[in-house]
């Protein structure tokens, strides 16, 4: 998702304060959603100068970009339901934001500000955040068992492996 929105007067100050607080805090809420790989936000007062005609940027722009699992619709639904306060903090200072967050108008608002991607590359397209979290738990547990295996007799090993499979069942 690539969204540019136009900030209201003073919006850039509020957003930068919010972003500074965001950096100070933990991203536990976003972590818990477990569908977002990367998100970036930028408040843009001017574009890099390459000799182009000067733009009339009377209002500051905000860029929001996200790489997530699933469809656009489910992503927005989940975000609004799980983190409505964060949605308001992200776009509340932008023109046109529907403050009450009914899903229909909010989706319309995002779609109106979104830009279609002309080329998109994903290194691991089938891999979700949940899969990576599961895989990391399996990597650690299976490596520990491999390390211990030489010192275990076959029956002890089988018992450890059975316990491991039970413990990691939801990760497989």
- Binders of other proteins among 26-55, rule CB under 8 A? 27, 30-31, 34, 36-45, 47-48, 50-55
Find the binder of other proteins among 72, 81, 149, 167 (CB under 8 A). Answer: 149
Distance CA 86, CA 62 (A): 15
- Binders of other proteins among 71-90, rule CB under 8 A? none
Using the minimum distance from each CB to other proteins, give the nearer residue, 76 or 168: 168
Find the binder of other proteins among 32, 150, 151, 170 (CB under 8 A). Answer: 150
Which of helix, strand or coil describes residue 75?
helix
Stretch of 73-81, 99-107, 137-145 contacting other proteins, by CB under 8 A:
137-145
- CB distance 87 to 80 below 8 Å: yes
> What phi and psi values does residue 59 have, to the nearest 5 degrees?
-115, 155
Side-chain-facing half-sphere of 169: CA atoms under 13 Å: 4
């Amino acid at each position: 998702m690539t969204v540019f929105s136009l900030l209201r007067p003073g919006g850039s100050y509020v957003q930068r304060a919010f972003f500074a607080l965001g950096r100070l805090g933990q991203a536990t809420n976003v972590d818990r959603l477990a569908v977002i790989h990367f998100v970036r936000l930028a408040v843009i007062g001017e574009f890099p100068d390459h000799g182009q005609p000067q733009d009339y940027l009377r209002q500051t722009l905000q860029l929001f970009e996200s790489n997530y699992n699933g469809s656009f619709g489910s992503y927005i639904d989940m975000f609004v339901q799980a983190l409505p306060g964060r949605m308001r903090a992200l776009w509340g200072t932008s023109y046109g934001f529907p403050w009450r967050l009914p899903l229909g108008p909010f989706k319309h608002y995002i779609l109106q500000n979104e830009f279609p991607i002309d080329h998109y590359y994903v290194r691991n397209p089938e891999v979700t955040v949940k899969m990576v979290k599961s895989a990391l738990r399996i990597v650690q547990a299976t490596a520990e068992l491999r390390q211990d295996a030489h010192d275990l007799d076959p029956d002890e090993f089988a018992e450890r492996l059975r316990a491991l499979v039970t413990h990691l069942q939801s990760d497989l």
